[in-house]
Chain A
Amino acid sequence: MNQSARIDPAAAIPAVSAPAAAPLTAPAGLPVAAAPLARPSIARHARHVIAENPVTGIAFALFLAIAACAVLGPAIAPYDPLASDTAAALQAPSTRHWFGTDQLGRDILSRVMAATRLDLGIAVFSVALVFVLGGLSGVAAGFFAGWTDRIVGRIADTIMAFPLFVLAMGIVAALGNTVTNIVIATAIINFPLYARVARAEANVRREAGFVLAARLAGNGEARILLAHILPNVMPIMAVQMSLTMGYAILNAAGLSFIGLGVRPPTPEWGIMVAEGAGFIVSGEWWIALFPGAALMLAVFCFNLLGDGLRDILDPQRRT
């Protein structure tokens, strides 16, 4: 009975979430017939949601600004983010240095802008990785049930048995202290979330009419899974992605704050806050404040976008 309600958003997802999750939502086998009917109502619904909750619009504008910084950051930054100038060290914000300078005289505004690419990159890659791993194994678990389900469930339970940030620390410590391993660790700790959502969504569609029809038409199980079930699970997964982006950014920044992953001269928000932490007690607030505020804004933006996207795609789950 839930089927038709769930398929509607599926049809509209390329139109709505393309900016947020463009490379990953390429649902080839969508139920095309539903699209022309559903699209106008979804567009109207999206307009309605944004009109009712202008915060989503603001979050989207903020997202564009952050994305622009990630793409153009080093190019439009006023100074070289790595160039030190000891004569101008520890200067408070001024018209010359809007965000002030750090203990080596590096311009903090430039460093905050340049850091966007790395921070966002870590989050995007880890979310993409867990989307593929967690999404596929969750869908397989929900569709095939039996042993596949038990194994995936056991893996997810084992990960959930750890406090997640602590597990991430252990993984990075074991794999080696690199940015790649931060991406992997962040993906692993998010795995249960994705696997569970994908499993639940695939499970309710196991015996759906379109699956039975596909099977009757002679499709193999793997083909049904990839071409028929997976595209229908995409909308919920897209919401999940944008909801966990913020968490991924926070997690990666937390790891680099305690000295894992990113090495010092590299501009990255977490490590910049860590560098500024020592100066807080002597009153030089700007070194830690601006990268911390950038981090907060980015996380805030993705959380709001996630909520907004959920409101648009899945009105039943609105909070």
Chain B
Amino acid sequence: MIRQIGKRLATAIPSLIGVVIVTFLLTRVLPGDTAAYFAGPAATPQAIAEIRKTLGLDRPLPEQFVRYVADLARGDFGNSLTTGQPVITEITTRLPASAELTLAGLIVSMLVAVPLGVLAAVRQGSLVDHACRIVATAGVSLPVFFTGLLLVYAFYFLLGWAPAPLGRLDIFYSPPPQVTGFFLIDSLIARDFEVFRAALAQLALPALTLAIFSLAPVARMTRASMLAVLASDFVRTARASGLAPRAVIVTYAFRNAMLPVVTTLGMVFSFLLGANVLVEKVFAWPGIGSYAIEALIASDYAPVQGFVLTMAVLYVLLNLSIDLAYGVIDPRVRIEA
């Protein structure tokens, strides 16, 4: 088991190296003067030359790369031009907001998609099955920012159930003392149920938007893999042995059908992390996505680079943990090691 984990950790290293090289290349090699980027649009040629020197851009490329990696290792992502703040502090303070949103979206999506997919497979051709197909096709076609706006219109403007789409917490409330950075958890720790309710109300629509977006691949995969498992020999044998249908589906089929679904989670996360940026913009969510968008508009490159790198590293780590979880769920993977 330990060796297995070590092996898997080793395979994540080339991905991480690739990610670092690409983010480096994105600023240094591609057309466009990096120094001019960092200097901003109104800089004089002297100022640009000076920045080039301080950034070490007059050095040969391999040397620049070594410096870049050394900076990253020290947690130095550079400074934002517009705020003057180090990018790393800004990203670490904003990361919990994005993480809370993404995880909430994923949980809602799994809670709906997995039972939907299972039901669709068990009652193939029924209403649930058709509903599942419609959800799967519509879900991948809906632009996530558009879903978000529709929900805002319906639940904020028409029904008045949701608060205004302006961030994580209504300005009437002060955020709970930070422990995890997740408002829902922190407010519970502080036993401040009023703030918990307010944070939940703000989170509901953006999380639902993300959930609708990621519902489709999970539901589709659950249905397909459940169908495959239900048609397999061991399920037939279990049925023939007289096991109750419920036991067959829950203990035999469901557990096995979940394996491919866990694998698709990697792809789902790729979508979720990207969609997160758009959802954060729609709901003025103060996460790292909106930080990157603000920086993009201002041609402030360091935060964008930091953002891309953070997201990519997170994604590599998520994939890693999915693979490790796979080993826990599927004993065969453990035995092979």
- Complex Cα distance, B153 from A304, in Å, reads 28
A260 (CB) vs chain B CBs: closest residue? B296
Contact between A283 and B145, CB atoms less than 8 A apart: no
Contact between B278 and A166, CB atoms less than 8 A apart: no
B-contacting 9-mer, from A9-17, A110-118, A167-175? A167-175
A22 within 8 A of B: no
B277 within 8 A of A: yes
A162 (CB) vs chain B CBs: closest residue? B312
With contact pairs A157-B14, A166-B308, A174-B32 given, residues A292 and B278 touching in the complex (Cβ less than 8 Å)? no
With contact pairs A170-B308, A254-B278 given, residues A300 and B138 touching in the complex (Cβ less than 8 Å)? yes
Which residues in A have their C-beta under 8 angstroms from that of B140?
246, 299, 303
Give the total number of A-B pairs whose CB atoms are below 8 A apart: 155
Considering only CB atoms and an 8 Å cut-off, how many residues of chain B contact the other chain? 57
- Complex Cα distance, B20 from A162, in Å, reads 11
Contact with A along B268-279 (1 / 0, CB 8 A): 011111110110
Which residues in B have their C-beta under 8 angstroms from that of A296?
141-143, 146
- Complex Cα distance, B280 from A254, in Å, reads 12
Contact with A along B15-36 (1 / 0, CB 8 A): 1101101110011001110000
Which residues in A have their C-beta under 8 angstroms from that of B271?
163-165
A167 (CB) vs chain B CBs: closest residue? B308
- Complex Cα distance, B162 from A281, in Å, reads 11
With contact pairs A163-B270, A167-B308, A258-B277 given, residues A280 and B153 touching in the complex (Cβ less than 8 Å)? yes
- Separation in Å of the A269 CB from the closest CB of chain B? 8
With contact pairs A258-B281, A277-B282, A281-B156 given, residues A163 and B293 touching in the complex (Cβ less than 8 Å)? no
A122 within 8 A of B: no
- Separation in Å of the A245 CB from the closest CB of chain B? 12
Contact with B along A155-195 (1 / 0, CB 8 A): 00110011111110111011111000000000000000000
Contact between A163 and B312, CB atoms less than 8 A apart: yes
- Complex Cα distance, B277 from A311, in Å, reads 34
Contact between A158 and B137, CB atoms less than 8 A apart: no
A154 within 8 A of B: yes
B226 within 8 A of A: no
A-contacting 9-mer, from B74-82, B89-97, B297-305, B324-332? B297-305
Which residues in B have their C-beta under 8 angstroms from that of A270?
143, 145
B21 (CB) vs chain A CBs: closest residue? A158
- Separation in Å of the A181 CB from the closest CB of chain B? 10
Which residues in A have their C-beta under 8 angstroms from that of B26?
170-171, 173-174
Contact between A253 and B143, CB atoms less than 8 A apart: yes
Query: Which of under 10, 10 to 19, 20 to 34, or 35 or more describes the interface residues of A?
Result: 35 or more
- Most chain B beta-carbon contacts within 10 A, residue among A158, A176, A282: A158
B28 (CB) vs chain A CBs: closest residue? A174
- Complex Cα distance, B149 from A288, in Å, reads 8
A259 within 8 A of B: yes
Contact between B224 and A319, CB atoms less than 8 A apart: yes
B311 within 8 A of A: yes
Q: Pick the contact of B153: A170, A258, A285 (CB < 8 A).
A: A285
- Complex Cα distance, B7 from A274, in Å, reads 46
With contact pairs A174-B27, A175-B32, A258-B293 given, residues A161 and B157 touching in the complex (Cβ less than 8 Å)? no
- Separation in Å of the A289 CB from the closest CB of chain B? 8
Contact between A258 and B143, CB atoms less than 8 A apart: no
Which residues in A have their C-beta under 8 angstroms from that of B21?
158
Contact between B137 and A303, CB atoms less than 8 A apart: yes
Q: Pick the contact of A161: B138, B224, B275, B315 (CB < 8 A).
A: B315
Which A264-282 residues have a C-beta within 8 angstroms of B? 270, 273-274, 276-277, 280-282
- Separation in Å of the A210 CB from the closest CB of chain B? 33
- Complex Cα distance, B224 from A166, in Å, reads 29
Contact between A169 and B292, CB atoms less than 8 A apart: yes
B144 within 8 A of A: yes
Contact between B311 and A161, CB atoms less than 8 A apart: no
Contact between A273 and B141, CB atoms less than 8 A apart: no
Contact between A292 and B149, CB atoms less than 8 A apart: yes
Contact between B146 and A161, CB atoms less than 8 A apart: no
A295 within 8 A of B: yes
- Separation in Å of the B236 CB from the closest CB of chain A? 23
Q: Pick the contact of B141: A174, A175, A303 (CB < 8 A).
A: A303
Which residues in A have their C-beta under 8 angstroms from that of B278?
165, 254, 257-258
- Separation in Å of the A298 CB from the closest CB of chain B? 9
Contact between A258 and B144, CB atoms less than 8 A apart: no
Which residues in A have their C-beta under 8 angstroms from that of B14?
154, 157
Contact between A273 and B157, CB atoms less than 8 A apart: no
Instruction: Spell out A's residues near B (CB within 8 Å).
Output: 154, 157-158, 161-167, 169-171, 173-177, 246, 250, 253-254, 257-260, 270, 273-274, 276-277, 280-283, 285, 288-289, 292-293, 295-296, 299-300, 303-304, 319
Q: Can you name 8 A-B pairs with beta carbons within 8 Å?
A: A161-B15, A166-B273, A171-B26, A254-B278, A270-B145, A273-B145, A273-B146, A319-B220
* Given A162-B19, A163-B312, 11 more pairs with CB closer than 8 A: A163-B269, A166-B308, A167-B312, A169-B304, A169-B308, A273-B146, A280-B157, A281-B165, A288-B149, A295-B143, A304-B137
